[in-house]
Structure 1
């Protein structure tokens, strides 16, 4: 929350500095691991972890790209041997499937991200980590967006770590277990 005159509080400024530092480090790590841009890493991660029936249009929404930008990205992914376009149920729609190389690169990007984030948490005790976990879930819950939003927050997430399937993710579907337990 701001101090009322347009200036940030100390906590807000620290949060901003932390997000920039982590975004820089995660971005560098995932681009190197995936062998492409952050968009490549996010696309591979999304295709590997949570897009059940991926299409160019859905990838466009996840990454917040223009239609032509999404097509160009998928062209690059296909040229690099990361994805294949396969026919969908509708002749107008092509589904995207990760190749073996794409799965390997997606996992490398996920692992690189995990190393950066776990090293950032290293100075904290287990008690501090548990406290931070609850605070981060609360902050993320407050930042969730309306259905249909672009640039999904979870585009680089490790869905195994977030607890998505158990309803622990603040975003899917809007943190139903977190909310019911009063944790957000």
Structure 2
């Protein structure tokens, strides 16, 4: 086995372990897509249309409508008028905001715990390395759900230009990153 195969395999095991832990921490949302929707609505989508939410989550139009129906039935979101007469917007209810904050906190705690064995210097090195890997993923990605759909955009430094994923998207698409004051 080559060194690269070993490193790739280790990365895969690490990614799976972190995803399993984060998924367990967010299980109260019912499913990963619902958790991603609540997180996106909390952190960066401000009363998006159902179509905007669909594109962030990588869902079909009917899948997005069903998801919003389930979240509305659970009292977590409300629908409102969209930007035109044909669209509907989605917003968190107070209960939905509380649920999204709990999910975000559980995710953050799980991810911090995963880094607990590293020194501050090692975490800094890892930050740079993961940033390079994420930038490469953005360069190769074509369509589907947004990479940042579960991110806390304040934690990643997007608003100050230190998010490697957002910076790679700017480089790839040649456009300004849409920012929201948090």
Q: TM-score, normalised by structure 2?
A: 0.87
Give distance in 2, aligned partners of 1:75 and 1:175.
Answer: 31
| Cα displacement (A) at 1:58 | 1.2
Asked if 1:61 corresponds to 2:74, the answer is no
| 1:167 equivalenced with 2:161 (yes/no) | yes
Contact 1:170 1:176 in 2 (8 A): no
Relative to structure 1, the CA distance from residue 173 to residue 137 in structure 2 (aligned partners, 3 Å threshold; closer, same or farther) is closer
CA deviation digits over 1:17-67, x for unaligned, max 9? Answer: 0111111111111122x3x21111100000111113411111111111111
1:79 matches 2:100: no
Partner in structure 2 of residue 26 of structure 1:
22
Q: Relative to 1, partners in 2 of residues 1:147 and 1:135: Cα closer, same or farther, differing over 3 Å? A: closer
Structure 1: unaligned runs, 5 residues or longer: 178-184
Which of the residues 141, 149, 156 maps onto 2:135? 141
Q: How many pairs does the alignment contain?
A: 171
In structure 2, relative to structure 1, the CA distance for the partners of 1:70 and 1:176 (3 Å cut) is closer
Shift of residue 175, structure 1, vs aligned partner: 6.6
8 Å CA contact 1:168, 1:176 repeated in 2:
no
TM-score by length of 1: 0.86
Structure 2 unaligned segments of length 5 or more: list them. Answer: 172-182
Instruction: Report what 1:47 is aligned to.
Output: 41
- Tell me the residue number matched to 1:181: none
The alignment yields a C-alpha RMSD, in angstroms, of 2.2
Q: Deviation above 4 Å: which 4+ runs of structure 1?
A: 145-148
- Match of 1:156, SS state, is coil
